[in-house]
Amino acid sequence: MTGCVSTTAESGDEMDAAKSLSLEREAVSLRVTAEQFKAAMGSFAAGVTIVTSLGTDGVPHGMTATAFTSLSLSPPQCLVCVNRNARAHRAIVERKLFAVNILGEGQRWLSSRFASSVAERFAGVAWSQGGITNCPIFATALAWMECRVSDVHRGGDHDIIIGETLAVHVNEGTPLVYFRGDYSVLSGCAHGSQGVQGSEG
């Protein structure tokens, strides 16, 4: 009697193990590849920014980023996702200050330069230091903002960096857009410029 129960239990365990293995194999076969993920995410048209900071040695760092968005209105916060291997990552995390330059349609070359492996990305590029953070600002950008890091969260091979917005400026123009691996622009959407700046009292 006891032997029969044991055999039945063992048989059930084997069936459960086989079913679990089958489910694992099915999950592996359905796993999204990096290429598929890029293709899908590339279908989400995004604005183009250059995120900048200064190293503790005063050397400017910058990178092109489309993974940028607003987070909160009160307090005003934004976030940007930065690869932990990016040269700008260390400067942002160590100084806890960064700037976001939102690019206009005539700044494709600037986006390409800061997305490349060029060592001296700022060479020959006109920029000035932000009044609050000293981070590099491109005066001709469609808009720019200075931020202080308020939190950092890990997400895969990137860090999600949340910034408290300290100052902003907006210029007239049309945004540069990135869609499915190529640049594009939106027509008929230019607005007047406006400047707003704020900092903690």
- 43-94 pLDDT tens trace: 888 999 999 999 999 999 999 999 999 999 999 999 999 999 999 999 999 9
- Parallel, antiparallel or unpaired: strands 128-129 and 158-170: unpaired
CA atoms within 13 A on the CB side of 125: 25
Q: Is the pLDDT of residue 201 over 50?
A: no
What is the widest separation between alpha-carbon atoms in the chain? Answer: 87
Neighbours of 58 (CB within 10 A): 7
Q: For residue range 10-19, what is the model confidence (pLDDT) as tens digits? A: 556 666 666 6
Backbone phi and psi for residue 53, each to the nearest 5 degrees, phi listed first: -160, 170
Non-local CB neighbours of 99 within 8 Å, separated by 6+ positions: 51, 52, 53, 130, 133, 135, 136, 137, 144, 145, 146, 147
How many residues are given for the chain? 201
pLDDT interval class at 42 (50, 70, 90): confident
Model pTM?
Answer: 0.77
Residue type, 178: Y
Looking at residue 45, what is its pLDDT?
86
Where residue 88 falls (left for φ over 0; alpha for ψ -120 to 50; beta otherwise) is alpha
Q: For residue range 153-164, what is the model confidence (pLDDT) as tens digits? A: 999 999 999 999
CA atoms within 13 A on the CB side of 148: 12
Q: Considering only CA atoms, which of 78, 108, 83, 100 is closest in space to residue 177?
A: 108
Contact status, residue 79 vs residue 163, Cβ threshold 8 Å: yes
Q: Is the pLDDT of residue 3 over 70?
A: no
